[in-house]
Structure 1
Amino acid sequence: MIQGSWRALLWIGLSELCALSLWYSASVIAPELISIWNLSYNSEAWLSASVPIGFVIGALVSSYFGVADRFNPRKVLAISAFLGALLNALLILVDSGFFGILLRILTGITLAGVYPIAVKILSQWFPKKRGLAIGILIAALTLGSSLPHFVVMFFSSLSWKSVIICSSVLALLSAIIVTFILEDAPVTSQNLPFSFKLIKKVVMNKPVMLANYGYFGHMWELYGMWTWLPAFLTASFLIHSSETPQWFIALSSFISIGIAGGIGCVVGGLISDKIGRANLTIISMFISAICSILIGFTFGQSIWLTLIISVIWGMSAISDSAQFSVVVSEIAEVDYVGTALTFQMCIGFLFTIISINLIPIIQRIIGWEWVFTILAIGPILGIVFMLKYRRYEFNERGQQ
């Protein structure tokens, strides 16, 4: 059973790594797409926000109809990854910004059938001590999201179409892994008839909602940081030295978001199993809030100082992400855990749309030096709610 669980984690993690390369596949080549599609200056933010918009739509529909709890989650994941690969590949045939952003929204909808579904599958394989397992899964998600930066960094000569094709091939590989290699979990929930009561049960579960509120604050910061940190590093490094090579800037983004984030997820999972989910999230959000405030003071200063803070930020901003999902998977009733996870991510990604689009607007007013301070609002509020949840967690431990 243990060997089977860790084998399943390997394949689910690899599948997530490949499928989530779709998330930023267009963002890393945004300048080329903006030029080709003749988009306005503000369109880059919407190009980045289009996938979260689609994810929110997909997650809302999925949670509303209880898709994750009514159908075989492995099949849902495989179909979603396949459709995502297809929709992403269609970008190479588009010459209109409207249809390009529409395809990105549709791609986001398919990813709502990948990320939360994978968390549910993994929770079935790991009925206990799942903090580390889901931490590793989110690490794979983090690396997958940053993969386009890696491709651009080492294959800068590739055309934008090649970057799109690479991410689609990876997503197709994800569908193949889930379909032909990954097995169904030995403990699965029954296929439930559709009921509107599933979402009501989620909302009425107070500890679940406290964890959700913490997650919403976490998400306000995370994707705003992931989306705009590369632009910040580019501007900062070039001001410090106009001769800073592009490959070094791309490498810095990949290390700060992908490598540091992946390490943070695994370490966070290990620690949370020992000190508790709430304590880990509180510590992580405290550190990330401090980093979001401090990093602006390094703008245009020492490249290495900026990079050190961005790496710490990258680790702390994502190290708690898995634990919010773990909390929900542990305290929600088994008959609606899939819906609860999807609902959590639906609302969480709704907040990312706001923060992603707010950053460039505020940046033009107050500059790069101060703009990331607005992201600190999320983790600060998240800490408040997780302190309340910790009381519940403490009481539960006392009763065991």
Structure 2
Amino acid sequence: MPSDRPRHILPVIVLAQFAGTSLWFSGNAVLPELERALALDDRALAAITSAVQLGFISGTLVFALLNIADRWRPRDVFLACALLGALANAAIVVLPQLDGGRYALLLTLRFLTGFFLAGIYPVGMKIAASWWREGLGGALGWLIGALVLGTALPHLLRGALPGGAWQAVAVSVSVLAVAGGVLLHQTVGEGPYLARAPRFEPRAVTQAFANADFRASAFGYFGHMWELYTLLAFTPLLLAAYAARHGVALDVSLWSFAVIGAGAIGCVVGGQLSRHVGSARVAFGQLSISGLCCLTSPLAFALPPPLFLGFMLLWGITVAGDSPQFSAMNAATAPRAYVGSALTIANCIGFAISVVSLQVMAWVAPRLPVAWWFLPVAIGPALGLLACRRLALRGA
């Protein structure tokens, strides 16, 4: 570590990212209680998750078009979005007291939470990049690992708190997000390599996708995104269905945290491994394993509990572990003149694909046995592997 970079920089940014992104799946973690309190139907899971994703897409585009993180100090933006996102998240606790329009308001609040996450996750990355001239890839693994662990945290809180205390989960996550924003704002300034983002250029979409390497990396990332958030959203249902089928006692909330949070291991270990074998090979390997998990998931339901849980942990590690590597590949292969715009476009398309996948799963779920739900999801990893195989063979 260069002597001019304080040692606390990376740990603080990692903690702040972890705290802020815990807002992402707060609504999902307490969905059973929300369904009872608001009389929601079985489609609520896909709708609530999609609302956050659409909010994040919208926020990313607005922040890019208005150059928010350039007009104001990134740490100020991070803190403001942590406060506003926490407020939108905590507001769901008042919904049961309302007379009407509660479902529409719930979706609006989840959309707003996603919108303000666009000022936490990407802006945190920008702050981190301002402290690294080189070696950012390793830091990226830690940062995205923190994001993954943050998204899993609400499940842990729900499992640890007394049954029915869903309001406490929502409020606790919001308080944590605010604490993370304050911590970063007070202890981490912008680094010496802070770069002003180039103006967002919509025409970058044609320039970027005309590049064969960027196209290969981006389409690999799209295949990854088809699988990622669908598994994260439906993990509690898979675990609950397995427990009911085999008649075993399983703490669904705690195991959901373990499976989703295991992705942090894949992010950190993959980041270190990429230094030796390249991002493309790490991403290809992890996407291959998670895609194979999709294909073999019906067989996994026949396994005894220890093997099934081990299978789910492996799936959790690899489904998220390739995220930092696809981000690094997209950045490395984008046209130099349009890096920021190309990454924004790729992220927005990726999250839009996750919304489509969630809605497809909502349609599939009532029509297939639960053990077969993820067999159609394997199409995403398969197409992603076909797209990025040339980069992996080349060791990019």
TM-score (norm 1): 0.90
Amino acid at match of 1:382: G
Aligned partners of 1:5, 1:270: CA distance in 2, in Å? 21
Cα deviation per residue 1:354-377 (whole Å; 9 max; x = unaligned)?
112222321222212221112211
Match of 2:307 among 294, 305, 308: 305
Aligned partners of 2:368, 2:55: CA distance in 1, in Å? 30
Amino acid at match of 2:357: S
- Give the 3 Å change call, closer, same or farther, for CA 205–71 of structure 1 in structure 2: farther
Matched, 1:276 2:278: yes
Matched, 1:214 2:220: yes
8 Å Cα contact 1:236-1:301 kept in structure 2? no
Moved more, 356-365 or 263-272: 356-365
8 Å Cα contact 1:13-1:136 kept in structure 2? yes
Aligned partners of 2:199, 2:332: CA distance in 1, in Å? 22
Match of 2:136 among 123, 130, 138: 130
The alpha carbon displacement at 1:42 in A equals: 1.7
- Give the 3 Å change call, closer, same or farther, for CA 35–119 of structure 1 in structure 2: same
Cα deviation per residue 1:141-179 (whole Å; 9 max; x = unaligned)?
111000011101111346211111001101101210221
Q: Secondary structure at the match of 2:189?
A: coil
Matched, 1:345 2:347: yes
8 Å Cα contact 1:70-1:193 kept in structure 2? no
Quote the residue 1:153 is aligned against.
Answer: 159
The alpha carbon displacement at 1:68 in A equals: 4.6
Matched, 1:2 2:2: yes
- Counterparts of 1:33-44 in structure 2, within 5 Å, are 33-44=34-45
Q: Which 5+ residue runs of structure 1 have no aligned equivalent?
A: 395-400
Structure with the bigger percentage of helix: 1
- Give the 3 Å change call, closer, same or farther, for CA 130–263 of structure 1 in structure 2: same
Quote the residue 1:397 is aligned against.
Answer: none
Amino acid at match of 1:240: H
Quote the residue 1:118 is aligned against.
Answer: 124
Q: How many residues align?
A: 390
8 Å Cα contact 1:210-1:386 kept in structure 2? yes
Quote the residue 2:293 is aligned against.
Answer: 291
The alpha carbon displacement at 1:346 in A equals: 1.5
Aligned partners of 1:199, 1:69: CA distance in 2, in Å? 22
Match of 1:250 among 228, 231, 253: 253
The alpha carbon displacement at 1:104 in A equals: 0.5
RMSD: 2.3
Moved more, 324-333 or 156-165: 324-333
Aligned partners of 1:254, 1:112: CA distance in 2, in Å? 23
Match of 2:191 among 179, 185, 189: 185
The alpha carbon displacement at 1:41 in A equals: 2.8
8 Å Cα contact 1:49-1:356 kept in structure 2? yes
Q: Secondary structure at the match of 2:375?
A: helix
Moved more, 133-142 or 38-47: 38-47
Quote the residue 1:98 is aligned against.
Answer: 104
Quote the residue 1:17 is aligned against.
Answer: 18
8 Å Cα contact 1:68-1:338 kept in structure 2? no
Aligned partners of 2:85, 2:337: CA distance in 1, in Å? 28
TM-score (norm 2): 0.91
- Give the 3 Å change call, closer, same or farther, for CA 392–308 of structure 1 in structure 2: closer
Aligned partners of 1:97, 1:58: CA distance in 2, in Å? 22
The alpha carbon displacement at 1:180 in A equals: 1.0
Matched, 1:26 2:32: no
Quote the residue 1:50 is aligned against.
Answer: 51
- Give the 3 Å change call, closer, same or farther, for CA 354–294 of structure 1 in structure 2: same
8 Å Cα contact 2:83-2:177 kept in structure 1? yes
Moved more, 374-383 or 140-149: 374-383
The alpha carbon displacement at 1:39 in A equals: 2.4
Quote the residue 2:377 is aligned against.
Answer: 375
8 Å Cα contact 1:295-1:306 kept in structure 2? no
8 Å Cα contact 1:217-1:378 kept in structure 2? yes
Amino acid at match of 1:92: V
- Give the 3 Å change call, closer, same or farther, for CA 194–374 of structure 1 in structure 2: closer
Cα deviation per residue 1:273-317 (whole Å; 9 max; x = unaligned)?
110111111111111111111122122541112111111111111
Aligned partners of 2:274, 2:225: CA distance in 1, in Å? 19
Aligned partners of 2:305, 2:272: CA distance in 1, in Å? 31
Q: Secondary structure at the match of 1:26?
A: helix
Quote the residue 1:79 is aligned against.
Answer: 80
- Counterparts of 1:301-340 in structure 2, within 5 Å, are 301-332=303-334, 337-340=339-342
- Give the 3 Å change call, closer, same or farther, for CA 8–285 of structure 1 in structure 2: same
**Identical positions, percent:** 33
Moved more, 189-198 or 222-231: 189-198
Amino acid at match of 2:49: S
Q: Secondary structure at the match of 2:365?
A: helix
- Give the 3 Å change call, closer, same or farther, for CA 190–61 of structure 1 in structure 2: closer
Aligned partners of 1:336, 1:241: CA distance in 2, in Å? 55
Cα deviation per residue 1:89-134 (whole Å; 9 max; x = unaligned)?
2212223111111110011111112112222332332232222211
Q: Secondary structure at the match of 1:22?
A: coil
Amino acid at match of 2:271: G
Aligned partners of 1:301, 1:17: CA distance in 2, in Å? 33
